[in-house]
Amino acid sequence: MREHKYDPVTPAVAEALRKIVGDKYVVFGDAEKLEPYSHDEVAEAEYAHSPECLVRPGSAEEIAAILKLANREHIPVTPRGAGSGLSGGAVPLYGGVVLLMDRMNRILEIDAENMMIVVEPGLVTNEINDKIRDLGLFYAGYPMSLETCFIGGNVAENAGGGKAVKYGVTGRYVTGLEMVTPTGEIVTLGGKLVKDVTGYNLVGLMVGSEGTLGVFTKITLKLMPLPKASVDLLVLFPTAEAAIAAVPQIMTGGGVIPTAVEFMDQTSVQAACEYLNESIPYQQAGAMLLITGDGSAPNPVERDYEAIGQQCLSAGAIEVYVADNYTTSERIWKVRRNIAEAFKVVSPHQSLEDIVVPIANIPAMVAGLAELSKKYDVAFPCYGHAGDGNLHATPVMNPTWTVDRWHQTLPAILTDLYKLTASLGGTISGEHGIGHKRKGYMPLVCSAAHIEVMRAIKRALDPNNILNPGKIFDV
Amino acid sequence: MREHKYDPVTPAVAEALRKIVGDKYVVFGDAEKLEPYSHDEVAEAEYAHSPECLVRPGSAEEIAAILKLANREHIPVTPRGAGSGLSGGAVPLYGGVVLLMDRMNRILEIDAENMMIVVEPGLVTNEINDKIRDLGLFYAGYPMSLETCFIGGNVAENAGGGKAVKYGVTGRYVTGLEMVTPTGEIVTLGGKLVKDVTGYNLVGLMVGSEGTLGVFTKITLKLMPLPKASVDLLVLFPTAEAAIAAVPQIMTGGGVIPTAVEFMDQTSVQAACEYLNESIPYQQAGAMLLITGDGSAPNPVERDYEAIGQQCLSAGAIEVYVADNYTTSERIWKVRRNIAEAFKVVSPHQSLEDIVVPIANIPAMVAGLAELSKKYDVAFPCYGHAGDGNLHATPVMNPTWTVDRWHQTLPAILTDLYKLTASLGGTISGEHGIGHKRKGYMPLVCSAAHIEVMRAIKRALDPNNILNPGKIFDV
């Protein structure tokens, strides 16, 4: 295997790619048109790298032909969905071809009888629920970026969802995949089956493999009955510590698994409210929990969540607002969903993190964040999926610093953050992935032998290291 | 890599093994004592093969040393739990060492705050729920053989559970593993984390890998709140067809995911009742559904299941019995759990199958079974997890045949059965695994490229093909 020494995309290779997908679906030699594909939602320029060529395939067969060509010509290929990723997963680190999946965006089959849907990877995730709501069904795995992200990217990253506490993340719903292997073979894994132990769990391996082990071309997702009742509680606490201390209690005290338990500190809520010109009553609260419950009938859901509201009050909450209709609920959730976007406006120099710890260790984590904030003299706003132990702690550049100082200090901040996370039994990514943004920090949470197992699998399936090289680990 | 040409366990190797685990934990050169480890619950002698040596390790470090030795000496090692497997997964096909995990049977930690439990692989699965019930928690992934099986075997096979329709199978609950790789490295994967995308989903790959990719030494399982209410419906139908036709309707019509939907045809119920000296009213019914529901309060559960009972009556049910107390419920479930054992008494010449199809195709599957039964003139009793599409159709030798004729005909019966399953979008194992029993039939449901991906992973992690060789596929 040659190491990272790829060959360039020559005009002859570009011509061969045009023959495979059609002239209009190849961009080559136009730096301006290629630039948007040099980055995802990780803003920092240091993580960006432009492709030499953009290819928009229309079928599994075309992707297979592209990958066979890439192996022959020794050119890296990086699959890309909506580019809404948060770890640089879709960045073509060594140039080569970006495989943009936006043309493969069809719903192939809605199978209500089997409670399954078969989609192409380029479908905007939100469209799934839009199309099946009237059938009394829903797809529970969707992430916060549901209005922009593609389902293929969700599967590649094993994206987390707003309903993950109760329903789990993307991976729980993927029962079948058609994919192209790094060497250009089309394989079908699983199907419309809720149980399947016929050989290795390759579907499970592919979910979250960040586009390094295969290119998905068809995705079969399990659907759930649309809950007939749901309620959101917006709970105001005096401090972040008080809010977070209530979480393990909520999770284990009531005998009910909430659908969501989201945490937002005051800085986060304020940023999102200003960004959206929204006015939820954040001023009086140091932090908030957004707790959602759902079920098959209103009465038990309401009773369960009245009890949870009471628990919160006993735990020191200032106020519990109940949102039991779509409009109010959507207003609150929109605030939560837009925090990351809002922070970008506040400061372009920040690092959106994705640590995850056992839920009982969240209070210790939040206390640790306060210490880190003091130690490095940087703000550390925090929000996230508290019910999953998954916190988007986000160190933000001290506005008095130079950008250079920020870049020089950030690795130390992240190292401390990740070491703290590891010491609490946690790890460095709950749902955003490693990509190349966090690759260098993997040894803080994975042993050499562990990383070597991953490398061995990568080498076995992608002997020329063609598919999305340089992500998760170096081969 | 040498192919299946292993070296024998010499007295010197046995001595080295004794040095690792202690004299009393090695059996060598005693055919009678080794014989019980030549088979699992697959009864047929043709699938059996004795080990040359039995080793009972006490720690991950000992297992690592054993595997390093085995790689050096080129001796196959087959991990074994309770031996309750149903596909020959624990059979040492090429002799060598059987690694019996029964000494590593401790509950290491019950962490109620995180709703997690950490156990060793040799723990009897049932003990988990016995130990955590009083804490208001339960482990939802347990299989039907819970009173005998080991949790390590459940993880290795990704065993299905009696509550899988609602709660999913073993794999959904495994959040962390400590394991020894085939080359003898100890690695820790995951942890007490409900979300984790730090690198490849190796926990997901290891679950269901049938002891071919690693030996588990610690298992972290996610727990659920113990449901505060549950109800069982035993629903009698005039025919198997009528019972099965009701299943997709129950699954999708009510907006409620039942905890379990079990199907038992008359032959199955009768066999189990006679075996247990139990008298549930099977005579009048061609088939039964056992439907379980649970939840956080009695009222909604009862209301949901009254509705399901009504649905069953509309679908042609003769009678709906409601079991709302533990004793009655346990009586019925005991019948269901003992069908496989009971069939062994009826006829030693049978093949317990484990096909799985999309739930909407269950009626077509059951119709196809009737045709196969006619075509081959063999009984084809059927029971199983209808709500998962997972049916234990079991061809039983025609009592007028010679055993030779049975053995000659069975491959044709199974080929037809599996082809039918595949044509209905199904596959050959939902929860029992491939082992070597179904290995030869893999090409009926997996393409050559698909099997090659599995082989490549096996070769990458086990270059000397030491760990449980000859299972799932040949390398």
- Cα B426 to Cα A75, A187, A191, A280, B196: the distances in Å are 38, 16, 8, 50, 30
Which chain A residue shows the shortest CA-CA distance from B444? Answer: A198
Query: Which of A86, A132, A187, A198 is the best mutation test for B, with the most CBs of B within 10 A?
Result: A198
Residue A465 has pLDDT above 60, yes or no: yes
- Contact (CB, 8 A) for A470 and A93: yes
Which chain A residue shows the shortest CA-CA distance from B229? Answer: A255
State ipTM: 0.96
The answer to whether B442 contacts A200, with C-beta atoms less than 8 Å apart, is no
Which chain A residue shows the shortest CA-CA distance from B297? Answer: A300
Query: Which of A63, A113, A166, A195 is the best mutation test for B, with the most CBs of B within 10 A?
Result: A195
Query: Which of B86, B158, B198 is the best mutation test for A, with the most CBs of A within 10 A?
Result: B198
- Cα A32 to Cα A24, A28, A53, A99, B230: the distances in Å are 17, 10, 12, 17, 62
Distance in angstroms (rounded) separating the CA atoms of residues A34 and A19: 20
Nearest-by-Cβ selection for A196 from B197, B361, B427: B427
pLDDT value at position A280?
84
Where are chain A's structural domains? 107-225, 229-341, 347-444
- The shortest C-alpha distance from A202 to chain B (Å) reads 7
Nearest to residue B338, comparing CAs of B251, B421, B276? B276
The answer to whether A204 contacts B204, with C-beta atoms less than 8 Å apart, is yes
Is B107-225's fold the same as B347-444's?
no
The answer to whether B114 contacts A359, with C-beta atoms less than 8 Å apart, is yes
- Contact (CB, 8 A) for A298 and A229: yes
Residue A1 has pLDDT above 60, yes or no: no
pLDDT value at position B4?
59
Tell me the percentage of chain A whose pLDDT exceeds 70: 99
The answer to whether B188 contacts A447, with C-beta atoms less than 8 Å apart, is yes
The answer to whether A456 contacts B460, with C-beta atoms less than 8 Å apart, is yes
The answer to whether B431 contacts A360, with C-beta atoms less than 8 Å apart, is no
pLDDT value at position B43?
77
The answer to whether A358 contacts B111, with C-beta atoms less than 8 Å apart, is yes
The answer to whether A457 contacts B457, with C-beta atoms less than 8 Å apart, is yes
Distance in angstroms (rounded) separating the CA atoms of residues B201 and B212: 17
- The shortest C-alpha distance from A25 to chain B (Å) reads 28
Contacts of A391 in chain B (CB under 8 A): none
> Looking at residues A358-385, what average pLDDT do you find?
94
Query: What's the predicted TM-score (pTM) here?
Result: 0.96
- The shortest C-alpha distance from B103 to chain A (Å) reads 26
Residue A121, SS3 per DSSP = coil
Give average pLDDT by consecutive 10-residue segment, chain B, 475 residues.
Answer: 76 98 98 97 90 98 98 98 96 98 98 96 97 94 88 97 91 98 98 97 98 98 93 94 90 84 93 90 88 87 90 94 88 89 86 95 94 96 94 94 96 98 98 97 98 98 98 96
What pLDDT, in 10s, does the model give residues A5-40?
899 999 999 999 999 999 999 999 999 999 999 999
Q: What is the CATH number of domain A347-444?
A: 3.30.70.2740
Is domain B229-341 annotated with CATH 3.30.70.2190? yes
Say how many CB pairs under 8 Å bridge A and B.
Answer: 272
Residue A176 has pLDDT above 70, yes or no: yes
Contacts of B299 in chain A (CB under 8 A): 299-300
Distance in angstroms (rounded) separating the CA atoms of residues A120 and A177: 10
pLDDT value at position A4?
59
> Looking at residues A301-312, what average pLDDT do you find?
90
Residue B289, SS3 per DSSP = strand
Residue A167 has pLDDT above 90, yes or no: yes
Is domain A107-225 annotated with CATH 3.30.465.10? yes
The answer to whether B459 contacts A454, with C-beta atoms less than 8 Å apart, is no
- The shortest C-alpha distance from A259 to chain B (Å) reads 14
Contacts of B442 in chain A (CB under 8 A): 198-199
What pLDDT, in 10s, does the model give residues A36-92?
999 999 978 889 999 999 999 999 999 999 999 999 999 999 999 999 999 999 999
